[in-house]
Amino acid sequence: MVNSGQNQSAQLQRSISDFGVPPDIRSGLARIIHSSVPLTLIAVLINSVALSIVQLSVVAHTTILIWFCITNGLSLIRWGLYLQFNKRYTLEQAPIYWTHLTFIVSAASGLTWGAVAIWLFPEDSFVHQVFTAFVIAGMSAGAVTTLAPLLSSVCAFILFAMLPIIVRFFQVDTDINYAMGAMSILFTVMLLITSKRLNQTIKESLLLRHEQVLAEKTIQYQAHYDALTNLPNRRLIIGRLKQEIARSIRHKHIGGVLFLDLDHFKTINDSLGHTVGDELLKQVASRINQRVRDEDTAARLGGDEFIILLAEVGDTPVQAMDNVMNVADQILQLLDAPFQISGHELHVTVSIGIALFPLTETSADQLLQQSDVAMYEAKQAGRNTVRIFLPEMQKTVDNRRATEKGLRRALAEDELELFYQPQVDADHSIIGLEALLRWNHPAKGIIAPNEFIEIAEITGLITQIGDWVSNTACRDLSRIPAGRNLKMCINVSPRQFAETVFVDKLKEIIAMAGVNPDNIQLEITESMLIRDIEAAIEKMQKLKSAGVSFSIDDFGTGYSSLAYLKRLPVDILKIDKSFVLDIDKDESNAVIVETVIAMAKHMQIDIVAEGVENEQILNYLKDRGCTRFQGYFFARPMPLNSLLKQFPELNRSNRDANIIDMRPS
Ligand code: C2E
Ligand code: MG
Ligand code: MG
């Protein structure tokens, strides 16, 4: 992570020694030093040759030879170390002993130049003494630039090289020698100070670079890994999947994608809270991750969806299928053991969809979609089970894709339309209108909602569509002169209702249209209430206190639980048309309808029967106490203009005693 400037300098203070710095920086320092070794060794060679030649006339030749051999022998060792370092550590971190080695070699090198003042210092020739001093000082100054990254090394070099010559000057009892000695001390101090400064600058810049690299790594990590589970995320898994598809085509073997979706995760999340939900996801991720081999990848797509990419599971489809099924079964078993989370013992099951590759030409995205569709099939088959993607399912994939794309266009190009179907009371007067969505497709004509609502729900487009529906229905209501006497019934989908902003948004839409909330009724289904009943009640109560009423749509097809129904601020139950349509023929449907009517009476809730197609059904329902009806017998859903034409009563704002006669003339 990127630290502040203060943090950096604090770190630098702590790491002022060459050995205490972070390994990355230490390696960086060693690398800088090694990069200047060739230049240093050339300088050593030139200076040692020049010095030896100059001193030939004043110093014993054997001494010069010995010194020359030691000095350049050391250069050979340094060259060898330089080659070794480059061979091993140009890219990776150098171990700490390289810092120690550099220190020893620098000190030894300093000593060879210090030795010049001892062995090659001519007592009698001041000119040669000055020359000697000049060479040593030159080497020390050079060391500042090449060894500054390691303060200990540069200091060792300078002190070992300079101290003997200083002592030497003071030993010769002349003023000019004292002066030379004093100047050498000053020069040494200057060199040390410069070294320290240079060292600080180099370390700071390396530290900064180090922080940058760390920050880049963090950003890289966040872009490719899921923060909660530390598993690869969608982006990374798609990348790997692409590689794996290419590899399997090249090597002619088969791989598999497992799409996992936890069953009823939302219920756990909603009832026990997000902390428990998050912990569960972490534990699930860790169990899954334990199972995968090194060459496989487990990833989290988001929410409670996981992917396992199995590389190379077989050479033939049958073999591959067998192996992947085995893994899937193991995953089911792995998750079978209960999870212990904050004192709760949680039992979790998972639905798994499988797609193999490269059986047909498939992209990574398509493969994920295929496995998703297979997972959906597993859910339909009762959850806690595995399904393999079959080519027949491809139709679902293509259809889903095309519909999603089409719906986006429909929203943008204004292809959606609302039809309205009247609801009537026992006297057949219109008491309400249900807004029913239609997609006016440029090529296919009018499309019924059953063909696209589910896809809109899956893809999340439903929230935008739902907003459009609410807006349009409210606006249309304000255009109906008799609107004040009607309930405008708007269907709400689960995802739309789950939005946190749902209540506020709807209130705003109603206010903007200038209609009375008392005239708005929302149709919700049981399934969307059961997920998080407390949150649902809260939202319903907020809207109720604003005047909005509620009906439970498709009643009878879901849980139909009295226990929670009692707690809900519901005004109407709509009996699903599947029970009503053949009520006079199907005994069990008749029983269900009678039970629902009795139940509603008991709870003092009104009932609307949907799907009233003929008079027999109407009379049958009336006989059993039902008082509100909706169905083709009275009217089919139709555009607002047709409705206003067909029922002129709706054009009268002060409808006489609310009577609109629906009896066919
Ligand atoms: P629903 O809310 O149960 O709507 C009643 C459905 O029954 C409508 O189908 C209506 O045309 C049909 N229906 C009414 N009377 C009869 C009849 O006598 N016989 C028969 N066979 N059918 C009848 P539709 O318009 O195709 O809508 C289907 C479903 O799509 C709706 O069921 C509702 O769940 C959903 N839907 C419609 N509009 C919207 C919307 O704006 N938002 C959301 N979220 N869902 C919508
Ligand atoms: Mg409805
Ligand atoms: Mg219904």
| pLDDT tens digits along 186-199 | 999 999 999 999 99
For residues 17 and 345, which has the higher predicted lDDT (pLDDT)? 345
pLDDT tens-digit map of 162-178: 999 999 999 988 899 99
Indicate if the pLDDT at residue 1 is higher than 50: no
Average pLDDT over residues 125-130: 90
CA of 423 to the centre of ligand 2 (A): 11
Residue 78 has what pLDDT?
A: 94
Residues in the chain: 665
Average pLDDT over residues 135-149: 94
Share of the chain above pLDDT 70, in %: 94
Which residues are near ligand 1 (CB < 6 Å)?
A: 421, 435-437, 448-450, 453, 469, 491-493, 523, 553-554, 577, 610-613, 630-632, 637
Residues with CB under 5 A from ligand 3 (ion): 553-554
Q: Quote the tokens at residue 264.
A: 């009823």
Domain ranges of the chain: 2-221, 234-389, 406-652
Nearest-ligand number for the alpha carbon of 422? 1
Average pLDDT over residues 114-130: 91
CA of 561 to the centre of ligand 2 (A): 19
Provide the angle, in degrees to the nearest 10, between the axes of the packed helices 175-224 and 126-147: 10
Average pLDDT over residues 454-464: 89
Least confident of 105-109, 284-288, 354-358, 649-653: 649-653
Average pLDDT over residues 104-112: 96
Count of CB atoms situated within 10 Å of the CB of 413: 10
Kind and range of the H or E run holding 15: none
Single-letter amino acid, residue 595? T
CA of 519 to the centre of ligand 1 (A): 20
Report the Cα–Cα distance between both ends of the chain, in Å, rounded. Answer: 79
Q: Quote the tokens at residue 156.
A: 């060792």
Indicate if the pLDDT at residue 7 is higher than 60: no
Count of CB atoms situated within 10 Å of the CB of 425: 18
Name the pairing type of β-strands 487-491 and 520-525.
Answer: parallel
Helix, strand, coil shares, percent, the chain, to 5: 60, 15, 25
> May I ask the CATH class of domain 406-652?
alpha beta
Residue 13 has what pLDDT?
A: 47
Residue 19 has what pLDDT?
A: 64
Average pLDDT over residues 246-259: 93
What lies within 8 Å, CB to CB, of 156 at 6+ separation is: 103, 106, 107, 110
d(CA 490, CA 495): 15
For residues 396 and 634, which has the higher predicted lDDT (pLDDT)? 634
d(CA 69, CA 90): 30
Average pLDDT over residues 118-128: 89
Indicate if the pLDDT at residue 212 is higher than 90: no
Residue 2 has what pLDDT?
A: 36
Q: Which fold has domain 234-389?
A: Alpha-Beta Plaits (3.30.70)
Q: Provide the pLDDT confidence category of residue 18 given band limits of 50, 70 and 90.
A: low
Name the pairing type of β-strands 339-341 and 344-346.
Answer: antiparallel
CA of 610 to the centre of ligand 2 (A): 9
Residue 21 has what pLDDT?
A: 72
Residue 559 has what pLDDT?
A: 64
What lies within 8 Å, CB to CB, of 86 at 6+ separation is: 34
Residue 534 has what pLDDT?
A: 85
Q: What is the DSSP string of 274-304?
A: HHHHHHHHHHHHHHHHHHS-TTSEEEEEETT
Average per-residue pLDDT in the chain? 89
pLDDT tens-digit map of 541-590: 999 999 999 999 988 776 666 667 788 899 999 999 988 988 878 888 88
CA of 575 to the centre of ligand 3 (A): 7
pLDDT tens-digit map of 23-39: 778 888 888 888 899 99
Average pLDDT over residues 647-654: 87
**Ligand 1 pocket check: which of 575, 577, 614, 628 to mutate, most ligand atoms within 8 Å of Cβ?**
577
d(CA 353, CA 260): 7
Average pLDDT over residues 417-436: 97
Average pLDDT over residues 3-17: 47
Kind and range of the H or E run holding 351: strand 350-357
Nearest-ligand number for the alpha carbon of 608? 3
